[in-house]
Protein backbone atom coordinates (compact mmCIF):
# COMPACT_ATOMS: atom_id res chain seq x y z
CA UNK A 1 0.00 0.00 0.00
CA UNK A 2 1.45 3.42 -0.92
CA UNK A 3 2.25 5.86 1.89
CA UNK A 4 0.42 8.60 -0.03
CA UNK A 5 -1.41 8.83 -3.35
CA UNK A 6 -1.05 12.01 -5.40
CA UNK A 7 -4.46 12.53 -7.00
CA UNK A 8 -4.68 14.84 -10.01
CA UNK A 9 -7.82 16.90 -10.44
CA UNK A 10 -9.16 19.51 -12.82
CA UNK A 11 -9.87 22.94 -11.39
CA UNK A 12 -13.64 23.12 -11.93
CA UNK A 13 -15.93 22.91 -8.91
CA UNK A 14 -17.44 19.62 -10.08
CA UNK A 15 -14.04 18.05 -10.76
CA UNK A 16 -12.84 19.16 -7.34
CA UNK A 17 -15.94 17.66 -5.72
CA UNK A 18 -15.31 14.36 -7.49
CA UNK A 19 -11.62 14.30 -6.54
CA UNK A 20 -12.37 15.18 -2.92
CA UNK A 21 -15.03 12.47 -2.74
CA UNK A 22 -12.54 9.87 -4.00
CA UNK A 23 -9.87 11.18 -1.62
CA UNK A 24 -12.23 10.87 1.35
CA UNK A 25 -13.23 7.32 0.35
CA UNK A 26 -9.55 6.34 0.19
CA UNK A 27 -8.79 8.03 3.52
CA UNK A 28 -11.62 6.07 5.11
CA UNK A 29 -9.63 3.02 4.03
CA UNK A 30 -6.45 4.35 5.67
CA UNK A 31 -4.84 5.66 2.47
CA UNK A 32 -3.25 9.10 2.56
CA UNK A 33 -4.14 11.33 -0.41
CA UNK A 34 -2.70 14.59 -1.73
CA UNK A 35 -4.74 16.58 -4.28
CA UNK A 36 -2.76 18.02 -7.22
CA UNK A 37 -4.69 20.66 -9.29
CA UNK A 38 -4.16 20.46 -13.08
CA UNK A 39 -5.55 22.86 -15.69
CA UNK A 40 -6.72 21.18 -18.90
CA UNK A 41 -7.38 22.53 -22.40
CA UNK A 42 -11.11 22.13 -21.88
CA UNK A 43 -10.99 24.28 -18.74
CA UNK A 44 -9.48 27.31 -20.49
CA UNK A 45 -10.85 26.97 -24.04
CA UNK A 46 -13.77 29.32 -24.69
CA UNK A 47 -14.79 28.12 -28.15
CA UNK A 48 -17.75 25.76 -28.48
CA UNK A 49 -16.62 22.19 -27.85
CA UNK A 50 -18.07 20.96 -31.14
CA UNK A 51 -16.01 23.61 -32.98
CA UNK A 52 -12.78 22.55 -31.27
CA UNK A 53 -13.57 18.99 -32.26
CA UNK A 54 -10.77 17.31 -30.33
CA UNK A 55 -11.09 14.36 -27.98
CA UNK A 56 -9.48 14.40 -24.57
CA UNK A 57 -9.92 18.13 -23.92
CA UNK A 58 -10.49 17.43 -20.23
CA UNK A 59 -8.18 14.44 -19.82
CA UNK A 60 -4.94 14.63 -21.81
CA UNK A 61 -2.98 16.87 -19.44
CA UNK A 62 -3.96 14.73 -16.47
CA UNK A 63 -3.00 11.55 -18.30
CA UNK A 64 0.34 13.12 -19.22
CA UNK A 65 0.93 13.89 -15.54
CA UNK A 66 0.20 10.25 -14.74
CA UNK A 67 2.66 8.98 -17.33
CA UNK A 68 5.31 11.48 -16.19
CA UNK A 69 4.96 10.32 -12.60
CA UNK A 70 3.81 13.70 -11.28
CA UNK A 71 0.62 12.10 -9.96
CA UNK A 72 -0.43 8.54 -9.13
CA UNK A 73 -4.16 8.68 -9.77
CA UNK A 74 -6.60 10.59 -11.97
CA UNK A 75 -10.33 11.00 -11.46
CA UNK A 76 -12.26 11.48 -14.70
CA UNK A 77 -15.89 11.96 -15.53
CA UNK A 78 -16.09 8.88 -17.71
CA UNK A 79 -18.15 10.68 -20.32
CA UNK A 80 -15.05 12.84 -21.00
CA UNK A 81 -12.56 9.97 -21.24
CA UNK A 82 -11.79 8.86 -24.82
CA UNK A 83 -12.30 5.15 -25.46
CA UNK A 84 -8.90 4.70 -27.10
CA UNK A 85 -6.54 3.09 -24.59
CA UNK A 86 -3.41 4.99 -23.56
CA UNK A 87 -0.39 2.67 -23.32
CA UNK A 88 0.83 2.50 -19.75
CA UNK A 89 -2.50 3.53 -18.16
CA UNK A 90 -5.46 1.49 -16.94
CA UNK A 91 -8.93 2.04 -15.53
CA UNK A 92 -8.26 0.93 -11.96
CA UNK A 93 -11.81 1.36 -10.65
CA UNK A 94 -15.31 2.65 -11.39
CA UNK A 95 -17.17 3.57 -8.17
CA UNK A 96 -20.93 3.14 -7.95
CA UNK A 97 -22.55 5.21 -10.65
CA UNK A 98 -24.70 8.22 -9.83
CA UNK A 99 -27.95 8.88 -11.79
CA UNK A 100 -27.01 8.68 -15.47
CA UNK A 101 -29.70 10.81 -17.03
CA UNK A 102 -30.12 14.43 -18.14
CA UNK A 103 -32.35 17.08 -16.63
CA UNK A 104 -33.96 20.32 -17.73
CA UNK A 105 -33.42 23.61 -15.91
CA UNK A 106 -36.20 25.90 -17.06
CA UNK A 107 -37.10 28.62 -14.55
CA UNK A 108 -40.12 30.04 -16.40
CA UNK A 109 -41.81 27.08 -18.10
CA UNK A 110 -40.59 24.15 -16.00
CA UNK A 111 -41.28 21.32 -18.45
CA UNK A 112 -40.01 20.63 -21.96
CA UNK A 113 -43.54 20.22 -23.30
CA UNK A 114 -44.45 23.70 -22.03
CA UNK A 115 -41.66 25.48 -23.90
CA UNK A 116 -43.17 27.61 -26.69
CA UNK A 117 -42.03 27.25 -30.32
CA UNK A 118 -38.64 28.84 -31.03
CA UNK A 119 -37.73 28.84 -27.32
CA UNK A 120 -33.94 28.84 -26.86
CA UNK A 121 -32.37 25.81 -25.18
CA UNK A 122 -28.68 25.85 -24.30
CA UNK A 123 -26.39 22.84 -24.65
CA UNK A 124 -22.86 22.26 -25.89
CA UNK A 125 -23.60 18.62 -26.75
CA UNK A 126 -24.51 17.34 -30.21
CA UNK A 127 -26.00 14.28 -28.51
CA UNK A 128 -28.42 16.42 -26.51
CA UNK A 129 -29.09 18.73 -29.45
CA UNK A 130 -30.00 15.87 -31.79
CA UNK A 131 -32.29 14.12 -29.31
CA UNK A 132 -33.97 17.38 -28.35
CA UNK A 133 -34.63 18.32 -31.97
CA UNK A 134 -35.95 14.83 -32.68
CA UNK A 135 -38.60 15.42 -30.02
CA UNK A 136 -39.09 19.18 -30.55
CA UNK A 137 -37.84 20.33 -33.98
CA UNK A 138 -39.57 23.67 -33.36
CA UNK A 139 -37.09 24.67 -30.65
CA UNK A 140 -33.92 26.74 -31.11
CA UNK A 141 -30.74 25.09 -29.79
CA UNK A 142 -27.79 27.34 -29.02
CA UNK A 143 -24.32 26.52 -27.72
CA UNK A 144 -23.46 27.18 -24.08
CA UNK A 145 -20.07 26.96 -22.37
CA UNK A 146 -18.83 27.40 -18.83
CA UNK A 147 -18.98 25.42 -15.62
CA UNK A 148 -22.25 24.42 -13.98
CA UNK A 149 -22.56 27.65 -11.97
CA UNK A 150 -21.98 29.76 -15.09
CA UNK A 151 -24.63 27.88 -17.05
CA UNK A 152 -27.16 28.18 -14.25
CA UNK A 153 -26.49 31.92 -14.02
CA UNK A 154 -27.03 32.35 -17.77
CA UNK A 155 -30.41 30.63 -17.74
CA UNK A 156 -31.44 32.54 -14.59
CA UNK A 157 -30.57 35.81 -16.37
CA UNK A 158 -32.79 34.87 -19.32
CA UNK A 159 -30.02 34.32 -21.88
CA UNK A 160 -31.67 30.93 -22.49
CA UNK A 161 -35.21 29.73 -21.87
CA UNK A 162 -33.84 26.41 -20.66
CA UNK A 163 -30.62 24.42 -20.44
CA UNK A 164 -29.92 20.69 -20.28
CA UNK A 165 -27.43 19.33 -17.76
CA UNK A 166 -26.42 15.97 -16.31
CA UNK A 167 -28.41 15.10 -13.22
CA UNK A 168 -25.34 13.65 -11.50
CA UNK A 169 -23.38 16.90 -11.65
CA UNK A 170 -26.18 18.97 -10.13
CA UNK A 171 -26.76 16.49 -7.34
CA UNK A 172 -23.06 16.24 -6.53
CA UNK A 173 -22.86 20.02 -6.20
CA UNK A 174 -25.97 20.25 -4.03
CA UNK A 175 -27.94 21.99 -6.77
CA UNK A 176 -30.74 19.47 -7.30
CA UNK A 177 -33.29 22.15 -6.39
CA UNK A 178 -32.57 23.82 -9.76
CA UNK A 179 -33.90 20.79 -11.66
CA UNK A 180 -37.34 21.44 -13.13
CA UNK A 181 -37.70 18.15 -15.05
CA UNK A 182 -35.91 14.83 -15.24
CA UNK A 183 -35.85 13.93 -18.94
CA UNK A 184 -37.00 10.35 -19.62
CA UNK A 185 -34.60 7.90 -21.23
CA UNK A 186 -37.10 7.43 -24.06
CA UNK A 187 -36.43 11.05 -25.03
CA UNK A 188 -32.84 11.67 -23.87
CA UNK A 189 -30.38 8.82 -23.50
CA UNK A 190 -27.20 9.85 -21.67
CA UNK A 191 -23.66 10.22 -22.91
CA UNK A 192 -21.48 7.14 -22.71
CA UNK A 193 -20.35 6.78 -19.11
CA UNK A 194 -22.40 9.73 -17.86
CA UNK A 195 -22.80 9.76 -14.09
CA UNK A 196 -19.82 7.45 -13.59
CA UNK A 197 -16.32 8.26 -12.39
CA UNK A 198 -13.23 6.59 -13.83
CA UNK A 199 -10.18 6.19 -11.60
CA UNK A 200 -7.12 5.88 -13.80
CA UNK A 201 -3.63 4.84 -12.73
CA UNK A 202 -0.41 3.59 -14.28
CA UNK A 203 -0.69 -0.05 -15.34
CA UNK A 204 2.56 -0.96 -13.58
CA UNK A 205 1.79 0.87 -10.32
CA UNK A 206 1.40 -2.17 -8.11
CA UNK A 207 1.19 0.03 -5.01
CA UNK A 208 -1.69 2.30 -6.09
CA UNK A 209 -3.90 -0.06 -8.07
CA UNK A 210 -4.87 -2.43 -5.20
CA UNK A 211 -5.81 0.48 -2.94
CA UNK A 212 -7.90 2.16 -5.63
CA UNK A 213 -9.47 -1.14 -6.68
CA UNK A 214 -11.28 -1.29 -3.34
CA UNK A 215 -13.55 1.52 -4.61
CA UNK A 216 -14.69 -0.46 -7.66
CA UNK A 217 -18.39 -1.24 -8.10
CA UNK A 218 -18.58 -4.19 -10.53
CA UNK A 219 -22.12 -3.54 -11.88
CA UNK A 220 -21.20 0.09 -12.68
CA UNK A 221 -17.87 -0.98 -14.17
CA UNK A 222 -19.55 -3.58 -16.39
CA UNK A 223 -22.16 -1.06 -17.54
CA UNK A 224 -19.66 1.58 -18.62
CA UNK A 225 -17.45 -1.01 -20.32
CA UNK A 226 -20.44 -2.07 -22.43
CA UNK A 227 -21.24 1.54 -23.34
CA UNK A 228 -17.62 2.45 -24.10
CA UNK A 229 -17.15 -0.68 -26.21
CA UNK A 230 -20.21 0.24 -28.27
CA UNK A 231 -18.91 3.78 -28.78
CA UNK A 232 -15.46 2.56 -29.81
CA UNK A 233 -16.94 0.11 -32.32
CA UNK A 234 -19.04 2.91 -33.83
CA UNK A 235 -15.89 5.08 -34.07
CA UNK A 236 -17.93 7.99 -32.82
CA UNK A 237 -15.54 9.68 -30.41
CA UNK A 238 -16.80 11.80 -27.52
CA UNK A 239 -18.65 14.41 -29.58
CA UNK A 240 -20.82 12.53 -32.10
CA UNK A 241 -24.60 12.32 -31.51
CA UNK A 242 -24.36 8.86 -29.93
CA UNK A 243 -26.04 7.89 -26.66
CA UNK A 244 -26.20 4.74 -24.58
CA UNK A 245 -27.48 3.40 -21.30
CA UNK A 246 -26.49 0.08 -19.72
CA UNK A 247 -28.13 -1.24 -16.57
CA UNK A 248 -27.76 -4.41 -14.52
CA UNK A 249 -30.48 -6.71 -13.30
CA UNK A 250 -29.65 -10.00 -11.57
CA UNK A 251 -26.73 -11.41 -13.57
CA UNK A 252 -27.81 -9.72 -16.81
CA UNK A 253 -26.76 -6.47 -18.46
CA UNK A 254 -29.08 -4.60 -20.81
CA UNK A 255 -27.68 -2.00 -23.19
CA UNK A 256 -29.66 0.52 -25.23
CA UNK A 257 -27.81 2.48 -27.90
CA UNK A 258 -28.97 5.39 -30.03
CA UNK A 259 -27.40 7.18 -33.02
CA UNK A 260 -28.89 10.29 -34.59
CA UNK A 261 -28.35 12.82 -37.31
CA UNK A 262 -27.23 16.20 -35.99
CA UNK A 263 -30.59 17.79 -36.83
CA UNK A 264 -32.47 14.98 -35.10
CA UNK A 265 -34.46 14.02 -38.18
CA UNK A 266 -33.03 10.49 -38.21
CA UNK A 267 -32.74 8.24 -35.17
CA UNK A 268 -31.56 4.64 -34.88
CA UNK A 269 -31.99 2.67 -31.67
CA UNK A 270 -31.43 -0.88 -30.51
CA UNK A 271 -31.43 -2.78 -27.20
CA UNK A 272 -29.70 -6.07 -26.35
CA UNK A 273 -29.21 -8.10 -23.17
CA UNK A 274 -26.30 -10.38 -22.30
CA UNK A 275 -24.60 -11.91 -19.28
CA UNK A 276 -23.23 -9.18 -17.02
CA UNK A 277 -19.82 -10.86 -17.23
CA UNK A 278 -19.67 -10.16 -20.99
CA UNK A 279 -19.93 -6.36 -21.33
CA UNK A 280 -17.42 -6.19 -24.20
CA UNK A 281 -19.35 -8.72 -26.26
CA UNK A 282 -22.61 -6.88 -25.52
CA UNK A 283 -21.17 -3.55 -26.67
CA UNK A 284 -19.72 -5.04 -29.83
CA UNK A 285 -22.96 -6.82 -30.74
CA UNK A 286 -25.09 -3.73 -30.22
CA UNK A 287 -22.72 -1.62 -32.29
CA UNK A 288 -22.88 -4.22 -35.04
CA UNK A 289 -26.66 -4.09 -35.06
CA UNK A 290 -26.68 -0.28 -35.25
CA UNK A 291 -24.07 -0.28 -38.02
CA UNK A 292 -26.15 -2.77 -39.99
CA UNK A 293 -28.99 -0.25 -39.97
CA UNK A 294 -26.92 2.73 -41.15
CA UNK A 295 -25.30 4.15 -38.01
CA UNK A 296 -21.96 4.52 -39.76
CA UNK A 297 -23.43 6.96 -42.26
CA UNK A 298 -24.97 9.08 -39.50
CA UNK A 299 -21.67 9.20 -37.57
CA UNK A 300 -19.73 10.13 -40.73
CA UNK A 301 -22.24 12.85 -41.57
CA UNK A 302 -21.93 14.36 -38.08
CA UNK A 303 -18.20 14.85 -38.63
CA UNK A 304 -18.83 16.86 -41.80
CA UNK A 305 -21.39 19.18 -40.20
CA UNK A 306 -20.21 22.79 -39.92
CA UNK A 307 -19.43 23.84 -36.29
- In whole angstroms, give the CA distance from residue 114 to residue 125: 22
Confidence tier at 53 by pLDDT (50, 70, 90):
very low
**Is domain 102-182 classified as CATH 3.90.1150.10?**
no
- Residue 50 is predicted with a pLDDT of 47
Condensed to tens digits (0 to 9), the pLDDT of residues 234-248 reads 988 767 899 999 999
Condensed to tens digits (0 to 9), the pLDDT of residues 192-229 reads 999 999 999 999 999 999 999 999 999 999 999 999 99
- Residue 273 is predicted with a pLDDT of 98
Where, residue-wise, is CATH 3.40.190.10 in the chain? 1-95+196-216, 102-182
Query: Is 50 exceeded by the pLDDT of residue 44?
Result: no
Condensed to tens digits (0 to 9), the pLDDT of residues 255-271 reads 999 999 999 999 999 99
- Residue 1 is predicted with a pLDDT of 54
DSSP string, the chain: --S-EEEEE-SSHHHHHHHHHHHHHHHTTT--EEEEE---HHHH--S-HHHH--TTTTTHHHHHHHHHTS-SEEEEEGGGS-SSPPTTEEEEE-PPP----EEEE-TTT-SGGGSPTT-EEE-S-HHHHHHHHHH-TTSEEE---S-HHHHHHHHHTTS-SEEEEEHHHHHHTT-GGG--EEPPTTT-PPPTTTT-EEEEEETT-TTHHHHHHTT--HHHHHHHHHHHHHHHHHT-TTTSSEEEEEEEETTEEEEEEEEE-TTSS-EEEEEEEEETT-HHHHHHHHHHHHHHTTHHHHHHHHHHS--
Where, residue-wise, is CATH 3.30.160.40 in the chain? 218-299
Averaged pLDDT score across all residues of the chain: 92
Q: Which residues are catalytic?
A: 80
Condensed to tens digits (0 to 9), the pLDDT of residues 98-147 reads 999 999 999 999 999 999 999 999 999 999 999 999 999 999 999 998 88
Query: Is 50 exceeded by the pLDDT of residue 307?
Result: yes
Domain 218-299 fold is Double Stranded RNA Binding Domain (3.30.160)
Average pLDDT over residues 294-307: 84
Domain 1-95+196-216 fold is D-Maltodextrin-Binding Protein; domain 2 (3.40.190)
Dihedral sign computed on CA atoms, order 139, 51, 15, 192? positive
Amino acid sequence: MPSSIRLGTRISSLARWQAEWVAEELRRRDVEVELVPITTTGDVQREPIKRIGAQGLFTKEIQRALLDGRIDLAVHSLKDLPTEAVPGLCLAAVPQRAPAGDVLVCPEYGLLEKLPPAAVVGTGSLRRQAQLLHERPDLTVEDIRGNVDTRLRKVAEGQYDAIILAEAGLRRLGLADRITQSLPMSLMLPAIGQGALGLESRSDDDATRPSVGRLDHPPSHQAVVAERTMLAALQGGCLAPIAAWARSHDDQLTLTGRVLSVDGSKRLESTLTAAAAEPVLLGECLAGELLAHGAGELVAASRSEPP
